[in-house]
Every structure is written in C-alpha cells, then in structure tokens.
Chain A
C-alpha cells in the first residue's frame, strides 16, 4: 500500500507544501522540530484540513480538495501512535486497548486481542491505570490500542522521543515487527538518525514546510546536503549478516565479505541486520593499520571528497560492504593526501556502534 500526498496547508505564518509518493513499508518523515512533520501526519489523520491537495493511501482517497472529499478521522482506518501516548486516564489498560476495537464492525474485528497483548507483553498490565505505567509501558499500550483498531496504515509521531534510551530500545523492535510481520505500512515521524536507519524503507526529508529529499535511508543519511539534523547525524547504512556470536560479548557480522565486530546483537545467526555508522566515528588511514585497538577495518576507494565551510571534510569511501562516509578534518585530509581514486582504510571502533544503531533487516 503506497502513500500519495500532495497538499498545501497554511497555519498562521507556517506554510506546509508537501508532495511525495512512497511505496509500502516504513516511510519516515525526517526533519528538525518545526519543519512540519507533525502537521503533515495530522493532515493524513484528518485532524487538520489542508487548504488544497490530495491524500491517498493505496486506492483510498482520504482528502481531495477537487471533489471536496474530507473523510473524518474515524473513517480513515488509521492507527495513530502519539508522542505522548494519549491513553485515556480514566480507563484501565484493557479498556484502552479495546477502545477502537469495540467500535469496529464485527467483520473487521480481525485482530486477536490475546495475540496483540502477547506480542507487546501487556498481559500483566491489563488491569492497571495509565497513571500506574512507566513511559515505555504506556507507549506499548498505545501501540496495542492502535493495532487493535485494525488500521490499514499506522501513523507514529515521534513515538520514542519522550523515552530514555533503554525504553527506546524496548519499543523499537516492535515497530520492526509491525513492519516485517504484520506488513502494515507505517508513516513515522522522527528526528533521530538511529530510528531512520533502523526502520525506514523511504525517508522523506522536511525542512521548514518543504520536502527537500525523498530517498532510501542510506542515501539520505549520507548526503551532507540534506542531513537535516546537523552533520553529527551524517552516517552510513550497511547491511550485514550475523555470522558468529563470540563468547566475549561481541557479535561478528559479514558485510559484503568484510568481517565486522559489534556489541552483542540478539538475533538468530544468519539474520540480516542494518547497521548505522556515524561519519564522525570513522577514522581514515592511508595504509592497512596495525597495532590499533579498533577492531573493524574497511578498505575501499575514495569516491567523494567534499569540504564545507567549517574545518571538516566529508570523505566517501566505496567498500565491499557498501558506501561509507567519514567526517575528518581538512587538515587530516591534506596530511593523508586524500584524493578521489586513492585507496584508503576506514577504521571503526566496535563500541562506537551503539546497540540502537543495529536493527532487523527489513
């Protein structure tokens, strides 16, 4: 099921002009706060009305200013997971979960309550009130509540932003499962490169109400022109296969023939994973390094060299694992004689690859 969106929406001084199509899978709306991501999702949900345009999901027209179509939110068959959960404080977890489910006509009440409760690990929470839940539990209930309304599309507006890192790590895999197992299309708002790297099929970059790029996660994250949340988020996205679980807590991945060691990845051997490597965590060397503590070395050929206004330079290396970007100083680039076509070695510390940067294949 694809998204087709072409809308103009004016809210006070803010103007959103959004036009893109995206295939099935997870479409991440990526941008700074205030760039219009939430407004765009609210327009898809029917909570705000664009001045003109078209919103289509699959073959269903949700909004069309030409024909005057504006489906109310309740007829859009969407599951919306809000940043702040928005559970009903006066209802138990069970009643929260069943709120949308009970409003479905019997024929569409297909999602099994027990199955969703099981998948999200909610069975012990059912009789509690939202006020008695932790932030992570609350978001799990919010996901369950949205799924049980049997949506055709899931909308998620920065569902992890209010959570601390361990909680984020707790919730992220559920979105991967929704993408991979339930095959539900997701429109996901984020300003986190790690979430983009793990989830995105398509990334739509928004900046001040305009779409500046639409592309795959790898393309967008490594492009310094568009990286919307600053150079520190510039990164490469590699795909690798989990091959060995070492006894010392490291997992060995195979990325196009290059062995990479990363902190323990809890998955079955043979699983394809996505791996995000931040550009500023990559060290370059002009020869094969020896006597280093860093465990990962990726040899490659320099295919791009870009200097910006600051002291930094962005080097793109074509390796057997895929393109890899490294952010080094211009001084180092000169000292090493880096030039397009030269051979270079990218060095990455294992511990620089945080667990939140490794996710399911998708």
Chain B
C-alpha cells in the first residue's frame, strides 16, 4: 500500500530506511564504549575523571553544528584521521557511515547517563559477595553488574537510537544532505520544507518519524517488563 503510491514514494522510503540503518548502527557500535565509559564513571576513581565526564557531555551542550564541524575537521577528506581512513577506503565524510558516527556522538551523552545511573544503583556489596565466591572482576561484571543494570542499558540504547533518528545539525554539517546516502529523515523533512508545495510531503515524514520513535519506546518498555518479570517482582 505504501511503496509506489503517491502518498509515500520511493524517495521517502529511502530516507526512512537510511535513517533506521544509520540510527541502528550508531546505537550498536557506541553501546560497548558507552557501557565501558559508564562503568568507569560509576565505579572507578581516576585522575581526569571529571575531564572524561565533561567530554562525554560536550555534545549535549555544544551547538550541533559545532560538533559537526569538528567532525569534519577530524574526519573530513583533509582531516588527520580522515586522510588515514580515506587511504583504506573507509572515509566517513559524506557517507552514511559518517552520519552514523555523528548520530552516535550526539546520542552518546544520553546513553552514558542512563547506563551510568543503572550501574550506580547496583549494590557494590553484591559485587563483593561475588568476589568472595571466587569470581574474577570481569566475571563479576558479566554475571552480576551488567545483568542487574540491564534495564538501564536497554533504556540508554533506546534513547541513543531515538536521538540518532532525530539528529540533524551535526549530520548535515558533517555529511551534507545527499539523497540515498546521507539524507536521513530530518534532512529529508528539511529539504521538503525548502521547496514550494513540499509541506505535505514533509508532514508525512513527520508522522513516520513520530511512529518510529513511539515504536522504539514501546519495544524498550516491553523489554524492561520482561527483565523485571524475570527478576521475580521484588
């Protein structure tokens, strides 16, 4: 009903699919690092902890266009990192992978805040108990800390996904607005609004955008309920 009909054309579909792909990979690739950073901030004291905390939160405070521009400086074709990656054919600028990176960085503070909070709620006494039972620090993390913090990890991942779906400023600055490569939902909406008679098309994408965000929230709620049920309703 959707594909090919005038109501929702292939161009719109491409933008939706691209957005989901960008957001999914942004969430998935930043999750391990998000968990590691959240754990460091929640459980360890080290010199420079406040600096790390500040760096993580920077994208939340900086104008997105600044983040995008900094990414372009680093990962652009002439940037120090971009040049190396470009040499291996892995350049990010003006590619959907670059859009993923921008989205991941913008969603990172939200992800880390949520996961950090759930780590802080895990009773360190349980980790001590695991240690006296012979568990190594890595095993304690895998068998006690992470499973107990799972609801927060899921929430953090969903937040990062939702943020990535909606990321606009950093993305358009870093990877521009190239249809079927970097034109995500917000970029497509923006483009429609720039042309005469584009408003109805923009409105359709707005509805799709709302629906996807809502679905993501529903999924996270359902996962959370399953986790709490498995825990036997304290």
> Which residues of A come within 8 Å of B, CB atoms?
45-47, 72-74, 76, 78-80, 82, 84, 86, 88-90, 99-100, 103-104, 128-132, 145-146, 149, 155
Contacts and interface: CB of A to CB of B under 8 A. Distances in A.
Among A84, A89, A146, max chain B CB count under 10 A is at: A89
A149 B129 CA distance: 12
A247 to B, nearest CB: 46
A131 B136 contact: no
Contacts of B125: 82, 84, 86
B44 interface: no
6 contacts: A80-B129, A86-B129, A88-B129, A88-B144, A89-B126, A99-B143
Contacts of A72: 131
A80 to B, nearest CB: 4
A103 B132 contact: no
Contacts of B133: 74, 79, 99-100, 103, 145-146, 149
A84 B131 CA distance: 16
Contacts of A84: 125
Interface stretch (B190-198, B201-209, B226-234): B226-234
Contacts of A76: 132
B147 A78 contact: no
Given A131-B231, A131-B232, A131-B234, A74 B129 contact: no
Given A73-B128, A89-B231, A131-B232, A103 B134 contact: yes
B10 to A, nearest CB: 46
Contacts of A146: 133
B130 interface: yes
A90 B135 contact: no
Contacts of A82: 125, 129
B134 A149 contact: yes
A100 B131 CA distance: 9
Nearest to A132: B232
B139 interface: yes
Among B123, B139, B147, B232, max chain A CB count under 10 A is at: B232
A86 B234 contact: no
A129 B128 contact: no
A146 B230 CA distance: 24
Contacts of A155: 132
- Identify the 5 closest CB pairs spanning chains A and B, nearest first: A129-B232, A100-B133, A131-B234, A73-B131, A80-B132
Contacts of A74: 131-136
A103 B139 contact: yes
A47 B132 contact: yes
A79 B233 contact: no
B148 interface: yes
Contacts of A132: 232
A78 B132 contact: yes
Nearest to A76: B132
B141 to A, nearest CB: 13
Contacts of B139: 103
A184 B144 CA distance: 28
A343 B221 CA distance: 79
Contacts of A130: 232
Nearest to B123: A86
A131 B132 contact: no
Interface string B181-194: 00000000000000
Contacts of A73: 128, 131-132
A86 B125 CA distance: 7
A162 B65 CA distance: 57
Contact of B126 (A45, A88, A128): A88
A86 B129 CA distance: 7
A45 B234 CA distance: 29
B148 to A, nearest CB: 6
Nearest to A128: B232
Contacts of A90: 147-148, 230-231
A86 B124 CA distance: 10
Among B123, B131, B134, B230, max chain A CB count under 10 A is at: B134
Contacts of B232: 89, 128-132
A129 B231 contact: yes
A125 B126 CA distance: 21
Nearest to A148: B133
A302 B147 CA distance: 64
A90 B232 CA distance: 8
B145 to A, nearest CB: 11
Nearest to A85: B129
A84 B139 CA distance: 22
Contacts of B231: 89-90, 129, 131
